[in-house]
Amino acid sequence: MTAGPAEALHSWMPHSPCGAWCLPTGDALPKVSPARRALRLATLVAVVLTGPLCALTLSVLGPRGRAAVIRGWFRMVLGALGVRLRVYRPGALSLAPEERERPRDRGVLVVGNHSSWLDIVALNALQPVRMLAKAQVRHWPLIGALAARAGTFFVDRPRLSTLPATVAEVAGALRGGAAVGVFPEGTTWCGQATGRWKRAAFQAAIDAGVPARPVALRFVVDEQCTTAAGFLGEETLLTALLRTAALRGLVIEASVLPLVSPEGHDRRSMAAAAEAAVTEALGQPEAEHAVPEVAAAA
């Protein structure tokens, strides 16, 4: 998810200045006991090992069944780590009926801020999405195979010449009614600071004639935003995972924001509109106009 020095081959390559210095120090946050951490990790391993079995069942299920299995599996991942998911729809009571839900046969580009490996888990716990990920993910043990099986799109970031083909592939999936998840920052930021959004994925939405669904994600412990769940700089996924497993009371707050239509937009203005919506949502210390919708993973 992060871009190491070996990848920084051109100016388009995503880069974040965030690193270990952005994380809380010492005992700044409540922790669970070592025994509870071990139990969480053992439970997570058990859930992950069910992944290939779940993937095999997808081919024999209908769309609703596949969505239920994928959503349920990602919620079990959150539950294994003791992470709760709170979902809000700011201003949902004032939305027109056609804005509240996307038609099942219409594609949507799901976009949001990116600070943690848990972002992907949270999005799929809300609604199964085909993610756009860097090509290296395909070679990660087990995770890469599961990602490929789930229909992940892989972008070769050092080779800009492959980008148009990836955009066309994503546009084709959107035309077919898929929900595609993208983090336009291109890499992880700490959440206290954010990066400028890349626009290529929005071209896919415009080409397919489908809207973007902005989702603002933030991590909270004791009702205070925290960077503790971040996956930053050159740290490994294991390091970030162990830190997350140690936290007591971690909550992911997901604000599902109104759709951004492609009509009247080019990719620059569409990206700017979606980014502004997420930035505004993250800037609210409390979602005072948000309507609680789901609470998952105790």
pLDDT category at 73 given cuts 50, 70, 90 is very high
Q: Is residue 209 part of a domain?
A: yes
Q: Could you tell me what percent of the chain has a pLDDT over 90?
A: 50
Q: How many independent structural domains does the chain possess?
A: 1
Count other C-beta atoms under 10 Å from residue 274's C-beta. 27
Question: What pLDDT does residue 297 have?
Answer: 39
Are 211 and 119 contacting, i.e. CB atoms less than 8 angstroms apart? no
Residue 6 in domain: no
The residue that leads in pLDDT, 163 or 114, is 114
Does 193 map to a domain? Answer: yes
- Is there a domain that residue 21 lies in? no
Which residues pair with residue 213 across a beta bridge? 110
CATH number at residue 278: 3.40.1130
For residue 220, name the pLDDT band (cuts at 50, 70, 90): very high
pLDDT of residue 104: 58
Alpha carbon dihedral 194, 196, 201, 203, in 10-degree steps, equals: 150
The answer to whether position 60 is within a domain reads: yes
Contact criterion met (CB below 8 Å) for 40 and 82: yes
Whether 4 is covered by a domain: the verdict is no
CA 172 to mean position of chain CA atoms = 21
Domain span at residue 170 reads 29-95+104-296
> If you average pLDDT over residues 208-235, what whole number do you get?
92
pTM, two decimal places? 0.84
286 falls in which pLDDT band (50, 70, 90)?
A: very low
Residue 17 lies in a domain: no
Question: How does 100-110 read in b/e, with b if 16+ C-beta sit within 10 Å?
Answer: eebeeeebbbb
Among residues 229, 219, 227, 211, the alpha carbon closest in space to that of 265 is found at 211
Between CA 219 and CA 115 the distance in angstroms is 9
Residue 142: per-residue pLDDT? 65
CA 90 to chain centre: 19
For residue 24, tell me if it sits in a domain: no
Per-state percent for the chain, helix, strand, coil, to nearest 5:
45, 15, 40
| % of the chain exceeding 70 in pLDDT | 83
pLDDT digits (tens, 9 = 90+) for 256-276: 999 999 999 999 999 999 999
Reported confidence tier of residue 102, pLDDT bands at 50, 70, 90: low
Tokens of 226: 């925290």
Cα–Cα distance for residue pair 231/19, rounded to 1 Å: 9
Cα–Cα distance, 94 to 81 (Å, whole number): 35
Sign, Cα dihedral of 131, 128, 234, 140: negative
Show Cβ contacts of residue 228 under 8 Å, excluding neighbours closer than 6 positions: 23, 24, 29, 219, 221, 243, 244, 247, 250
